[in-house]
Amino acid sequence: MNIRFSFTRKLLVPTIAVVVAGVLAVPSLAATPSETVKLRQATMKKLGEHMNAIKEFAMNGNGSAADVVKRAGEIGEVAAGIPALFPEGTGMDEVKDPKNGARPEIWLDWENFEKAAGKLETESKSLAAAAEGGDQETIKLAFQSLGKNGCGNCHKPFRIKLEK
Amino acid sequence: MLRRGLLLAILFLPFAGVAAQGAADEAAIRRGEYVFSAAGCFGCHTDVKGKGAPLAGGRRLKTPFGDFLGPNITPDPDHGIGGWTLVDFTRALREGVSPGGDPYYPAFPYTSFSRMNEADIADLWAWLQTVEPADTENREHELGFPYGWRRLIGIWRTLYFAPGDFDAGDPPASLGEEDRETWERGAYLVRVLGHCGECHTPRGWLGASDSSLFLGGSTAGAEGAPVPNITPDDATGIGRWSLADIEGYLEIGMDPDGDFAGGAMGEVIENTTGKLTPEDRRAIALFLKSLPAVERKVARPAG
């Protein structure tokens, strides 16, 4: 119950609420394991959209720094809720889904998994700060660091990519 | 006066020679470090999870044939390659045999490295001498039947291993003359140093890569994960990726969906492609985009 409580509480930020509503008909009710898997896939997809938009500005100069600040802020808010998206019983061997690549290591090494999510949060804050500062090179480095250390370093030990 | 000059020259010439030699070595070592990154040696020869010393071996590579344990390639004389010569080293890479004459399992990608050029091998050798020796003992591979039977390697070699020099072949006709050199460099990086096909090309039951499906992806890659099709097929490969998409992915690991690589490719980006020059990443992208498209969907078998 604890997990489910924090699940709804932490994820009720505006963007994610939209995602939740799209995936679950009644977001306040407890999700089944397969619904949880769908929810976190939708969440990760949203993060990917943010990262793509940020990349356009960080690497190619398209868009605005203000938009990066906003998106980095949302990534940080989602990051705080990531551990809640991985309740026990939702690993790749438990919920068969062509895209569920959540490795059992998540629950065998929960402490480091939480740390990895925490890293995403701090990295996204650094990026928001860099974007507020406005220096293009600093923003680029912060974006790359967020991708490698925030996203990649968690995917490396804890995810298998099952489909392109 | 003249005599004095001559005397000075005699006195100092040898030192000048040593200094030039030292600088040449330094340059070779620096180039060798780059070859080391491009060839991705670190990944299989370092047990990062077990906090092993760099290149001291012990990393477990899970494959459908069993678990291979990368050996120690530090210059330790007893457990590493400290007792080797450049000739031994060249033979290991180009022919896949140990200094004692035993053939290696092709988990060591000598099918690709066989075509490494001599300059790269000499530079890599120079750099390896600078690695801190580690006295970590090598461990036996843990292979399933019948792959543990070493004599099978001989059969395998006869059937599937063709050593030889690198030949990039002809670039596609559509390629402009100005891109030819870049394309050839890309072919060398992908086929030889990067040994991309070792994971991205499917294998038969005896472990031979199916060259007609070059880089067409594998359902049973190392570490139990499927390995994607990276030929330019629109539906099942990376046909929709632009050159810039590929270059960016190789640099920081982000694909066009905004997803970041993890698993084995995450390691490759960290240890190899992220360390290459932008020119080399461009060469890889150009070469990959020029390949024949293989229509082949790769996903983990259900169940």
Which residues in chain A are contacts of B296 at CB distance < 8 A? none
> Which residue on chain B is closest to A92 by alpha carbon?
B303
Residues of B with CB under 8 A from a CB of A: 223-226, 228-229, 236, 248, 252-254, 256-263, 265-267, 269-270, 298-300, 302-303
Q: Residue A13 to residues A9, A20, A77, B94: CA-CA distances in angstroms?
A: 9, 10, 7, 58
Amino acid letter, residue B293: A
- Cα separation, B171 vs A66, in Å, equals 45
Exposure of B174 in the CB half-sphere (CA atoms within 13 A): 6
Determine the distance in angstroms separating the CA of A27 from the nearest CA of chain B, rounded to an integer: 26
- Cα separation, A154 vs A152, in Å, equals 5
Give the contacts of B15 (CB within 8 A, at least 6 positions apart): none
The answer to whether the Cβ–Cβ distance between B262 and A154 falls below 8 Å is yes
Q: Does A111 touch chain B (CB under 8 A)?
A: no
Which residues in chain B are contacts of A78 at CB distance < 8 A? none
- Cα separation, A122 vs B174, in Å, equals 47
Which residues in chain A are contacts of B300 at CB distance < 8 A? 98, 160, 162-163
Determine the distance in angstroms separating the CA of A63 from the nearest CA of chain B, rounded to an integer: 16
Amino acid letter, residue A12: L
- Cα separation, B126 vs A17, in Å, equals 58
Q: Does A29 touch chain B (CB under 8 A)?
A: no
pTM above 0.95, yes or no: no
- Nearest CB to A51; choose among B254, B261, B303: B254
Q: What is the pLDDT along chain B (303 residues), one digit of tens a residue?
A: 455 555 555 555 555 555 566 777 999 999 999 999 999 999 999 999 899 999 999 999 988 889 999 999 999 999 999 999 999 999 999 999 999 999 999 999 999 999 999 999 999 999 999 999 999 999 999 998 888 888 888 888 888 899 999 999 999 988 999 999 999 999 999 999 999 999 999 988 778 888 899 999 998 777 778 899 999 999 999 999 999 999 999 999 999 999 999 888 999 999 999 999 999 999 999 999 999 999 999 876 543
Cβ B41 vs Cβ B73: under 8 Å: yes
Neighbours of B154 (CB within 10 A): 10
Give the contacts of B67 (CB within 8 A, at least 6 positions apart): B60, B61, B141, B142, B143
